[in-house]
Amino acid sequence: MQPTTLLLVLIVMAFIAYQMGFRRSLAVVSGKAKQLHSLPLYHGFFVALAAFIPAFLVFSLWQILENTVITNMVLNALPDEISSKAQGDVNLFVSQIKNLVDNGITADGISPQLQQAANYYAALQSESAAWLSRTTIALSLAGLFIAWRSVKREARTRNWVEKAVIGFLIACSSIAILTTLGIVLSVLFESVRFFGQVPFSDFMFGTEWSPQTALRADQVGSSGSFGAIPLFAGTLLISFIAMVVAIPVGLMSAIYLSEYASLKVRSMVKPLLEILAGIPTVVYGFFAALTVAPLIRGFGSAIGLDVASESALAAGLVMGIMIIPFISSLSDDVINAVPQSMRDGAYALGATKSETVRKVVFPAALPGVIGGILLGVSRAIGETMIVVMAAGLAANLTLNPLEAVTTVTVQIVTLLTGDQEFDSAKTLAAFALGLLLFVTTLILNVIALYVVRKYREEILV
Amino acid sequence: MTRKAISQRLRTIDIVNASMRRRNAAEKRFQIYGKLAIAAAMLFLIFMFGNIIYKGHTAFVQAFVALDISFDAQVLGLGDRRDKKSLASADYAALVKAALRQQFPDVTKRKAKRKLYKLVSSGASYQLADMVKNNPDLIGTQARVWVPADDEIDMLLKGYIDRKLPESERRLSDQQISWVETLEAKELIETRFNFNFFTHGDSRDAELAGILAALSGSFLTLLVTLTLAFPIAVATAIYLEEFAPKNKWTDIIEVNINNLAAVPSIVFGLLGLALFINWFQFPRSAPLVGGLVLTLMTLPTIIISSRAALKTVPNAIRQAALGIGASKVQMIRHHVLPLALPGMLTGTIIGMAQALGETAPLLMIGMVAFIVDVPTSIVDPSTVLPVQIFLWADSPERAFVEKTSGAIMVLLAFLIAMNAMAVAVRKKLERRW
pLDDT of residue A419: 59
CA distances from A340 to A261, A361, B146, B324 (A): 16, 9, 70, 44
B296: exposed, middle or buried (Cβ count in 10 Å: 0-12, 13-18, 19+): buried
Please report which confidence band the pLDDT of residue A454 belongs to, taking 50, 70 and 90 as the band edges: confident
Q: What are the DSSP calls for B77-140, one per residue? A: T-TT--SHHHHHTS-HHHHHHHHHHHHSTT--SHHHHHHHHTTB-THHHHHHHHHHHH-GGGTT
Q: What is the mean pLDDT of chain A?
A: 86
**Domain assignment present for B314:** yes
Across the interface, whether the CB atoms of B16 and A350 are under 8 A apart is answered yes
| Helices B212-238 and B337-356, packing angle to 10 deg | 140
- Rounded distance, CA A398 to CA A275, Å? 34
Report the length, in residues, of chain A.
Answer: 461
pLDDT of residue B9: 58
Q: What are the DSSP calls for B291-356, one per residue? A: HHHHHHHHHHHHHHHHHHHHHHS-HHHHHHHHHTT--HHHHIIIIIHHHHHHHHHHHHHHHHHHHH
Task: List b or e across A235-256, with b for residues whose CB sees 16 or more CB atoms inside 10 angstroms.
Answer: bbbbbbbbbebbbbbbbbbbbb
CA distances from B4 to A81, B7, B8, B11, B18 (A): 112, 5, 6, 10, 20
Across the interface, whether the CB atoms of B264 and A409 are under 8 A apart is answered yes
Please report which confidence band the pLDDT of residue A214 belongs to, taking 50, 70 and 90 as the band edges: very low
Indicate the pTM of the whole model. Answer: 0.87
Sign of CA dihedral A98, A102, A107, A108: positive
- Rounded distance, CA A274 to CA B354, Å? 13
**Domain assignment present for B79:** yes
**Domain assignment present for B29:** no
Pairing of strands A225-226, A209-210: antiparallel
pLDDT at A83 over 90: no
- Closest alpha carbon to A51 in A131, A132, A147: A147
Sign of CA dihedral B162, B167, B170, B173: positive
Mean pLDDT for the stretch of residues B380-385: 90
Across the interface, whether the CB atoms of A275 and B45 are under 8 A apart is answered yes
Sign of CA dihedral A280, A282, A283, A289: positive
**Residue A394, Cβ neighbours under 10 Å: how many?**
15
Q: Find all residues with CB under 8 Å of A238, minimum gap 6, and list them.
A: A312, A315, A316, A319, A380, A387, A391, A405, A407
Are residue B309 and residue B246 in the same domain, yes or no?
Answer: yes
The closest CB to that of B273, out of A353, A416, A437, belongs to: A416
Are residue B290 and residue B422 in the same domain, yes or no?
Answer: yes
Are residue B279 and residue B419 in the same domain, yes or no?
Answer: yes
**Domain assignment present for B1:** no
**Domain assignment present for B151:** yes
pLDDT of residue B4: 60
The closest CB to that of A176, out of B24, B260, B264, belongs to: B260
Pick the more confident residue, B136 or B212: B212
Our CA angle for A430, A431, A432, nearest 5°, is 90
Asked which of B159, B194, B229 is the last residue of a domain, the reply is B194
pLDDT at A218 over 70: no
Secondary structure element (H or E) that encloses residue A313, with its range? helix A312-337
Secondary structure element (H or E) that encloses residue B10, with its range? helix B3-56
Are residue B90 and residue B62 in the same domain, yes or no?
Answer: yes
- Rounded distance, CA A368 to CA A106, Å? 61
Across the interface, whether the CB atoms of B235 and A276 are under 8 A apart is answered no
HSE (side-chain half, CA atoms, 13 Å) at A258: 23
Are residue B184 and residue B228 in the same domain, yes or no?
Answer: no
Alpha-carbon gap: B28 to the closest alpha carbon of chain A (Å): 9
- Rounded distance, CA B144 to CA B153, Å? 20
- Rounded distance, CA A391 to CA A401, Å? 11
**Domain assignment present for B352:** yes
**Domain assignment present for B37:** no
Assembly ipTM: 0.89
**Residue B199, Cβ neighbours under 10 Å: how many?**
11
Check if the beta carbon of residue B363 is closer than 8 Å to that of residue B289.
no
HSE (side-chain half, CA atoms, 13 Å) at A159: 4
Alpha-carbon gap: A249 to the closest alpha carbon of chain B (Å): 5
Task: List b or e across B31-54, with b for residues whose CB sees 16 or more CB atoms inside 10 angstroms.
Answer: bebbbbbbebbbebbeebbebbee
| Helices B398-429 and B385-393, packing angle to 10 deg | 150
Our CA angle for A451, B353, A386, nearest 5°, is 70
Identify all chain B residues contacting A375, using CB atoms and an 8 Å cutoff. 262
Lowest mean pLDDT of A146-160, A213-227, B368-382, name the range: A213-227
- Rounded distance, CA B178 to CA B107, Å? 12
Helical ranges in A150-199 per DSSP H: 157-197
pLDDT of residue A360: 92
The closest CB to that of B329, out of A162, A378, A382, belongs to: A162
**Residue A443, Cβ neighbours under 10 Å: how many?**
12
Mean pLDDT for the stretch of residues A388-405: 85
Please give the backbone phi and psi of residue A423, each rounded to the nearest 5 degrees, phi first.
Answer: -110, -10
Model confidence over B75-111: pLDDT tens digits?
A: 887 777 777 777 777 888 888 888 888 888 888 888 8
- Rounded distance, CA B24 to CA A119, Å? 89
Across the interface, whether the CB atoms of B278 and A422 are under 8 A apart is answered yes
Helix (H, G, I), strand (E, B) or coil at B160: coil
Identify all chain A residues contacting B270, using CB atoms and an 8 Å cutoff. 183, 186-187, 412, 416, 430-431, 434
**Domain assignment present for B218:** yes
Domain count, chain B: 2
Please report which confidence band the pLDDT of residue A92 belongs to, taking 50, 70 and 90 as the band edges: confident
B370–A contact, CB cutoff 8 A? no
- Residue in chain B closest to A258 (alpha carbons) equals B34
Identify all chain A residues contacting B284, using CB atoms and an 8 Å cutoff. none
Our CA angle for A323, A238, A207, nearest 5°, is 145
B173–A contact, CB cutoff 8 A? no
The closest CB to that of A64, out of B235, B280, B366, belongs to: B280
Check if the beta carbon of residue A73 is closer than 8 Å to that of residue A124.
yes
Are residue B139 and residue B233 in the same domain, yes or no?
Answer: no
CATH of the domain at B267: 1.10.3720.10
Most confident segment among A102-116, A180-194, A388-402, B364-378: A180-194
Check if the beta carbon of residue B290 is closer than 8 Å to that of residue B278.
no
Helix (H, G, I), strand (E, B) or coil at B64: strand
Across the interface, whether the CB atoms of B299 and A176 are under 8 A apart is answered yes
The single-letter code of the amino acid at A210 is S
Fold observed for domain A225-460:
MetI-like fold (1.10.3720)
CA distances from B414 to A426, A451, B56 (A): 38, 36, 16
Please give the backbone phi and psi of residue B191, each rounded to the nearest 5 degrees, phi first.
Answer: -95, 135
Are residue B188 and residue B275 in the same domain, yes or no?
Answer: no
Mean pLDDT for the stretch of residues B165-192: 83
Alpha-carbon gap: B161 to the closest alpha carbon of chain A (Å): 18
Alpha-carbon gap: B191 to the closest alpha carbon of chain A (Å): 26
- Residue in chain B closest to A382 (alpha carbons) equals B264
Secondary structure element (H or E) that encloses residue B65, with its range? strand B61-70
Are residue B144 and residue B216 in the same domain, yes or no?
Answer: no
Check if the beta carbon of residue B271 is closer than 8 Å to that of residue A431.
no
pLDDT at B206 over 60: yes
- Residue in chain A closest to B264 (alpha carbons) equals A382
| Helices B265-272 and B287-312, packing angle to 10 deg | 130
pLDDT of residue B375: 87
Helix (H, G, I), strand (E, B) or coil at B229: helix
Q: What are the DSSP calls for A388-442, one per residue? A: HHHS-SS------TTS----HHHHHHHHHSS---TTSHHHHHHHHHHHHHHHHHH
- Rounded distance, CA B256 to CA B141, Å? 70
Across the interface, whether the CB atoms of A321 and B267 are under 8 A apart is answered no
Q: How far apart are the first and last CA of chain B?
A: 62
Check if the beta carbon of residue A239 is closer than 8 Å to that of residue A444.
no
- Rounded distance, CA B73 to CA B76, Å? 5
Percent of chain B whose pLDDT exceeds 90: 40
Q: How many CB pairs under 8 A join A and B?
A: 250
- Residue in chain B closest to A355 (alpha carbons) equals B27
Domain locations along chain A = 3-155, 225-460
Lowest mean pLDDT of A95-109, A275-289, A293-307, A369-383, name the range: A95-109
Across the interface, whether the CB atoms of A280 and B51 are under 8 A apart is answered no
| Helices B337-356 and B287-312, packing angle to 10 deg | 140
Q: What is the mean pLDDT of chain B?
A: 87
Please report which confidence band the pLDDT of residue A318 belongs to, taking 50, 70 and 90 as the band edges: very high
Task: Domain of residue B243: give its range.
Answer: 212-429
Identify all chain B residues contacting A166, using CB atoms and an 8 Å cutoff. 239, 243, 329
What part of B 403-422 touches A (C-beta under 8 Å)? 404-405, 408, 411-412, 415, 419
Are residue B309 and residue B370 in the same domain, yes or no?
Answer: yes
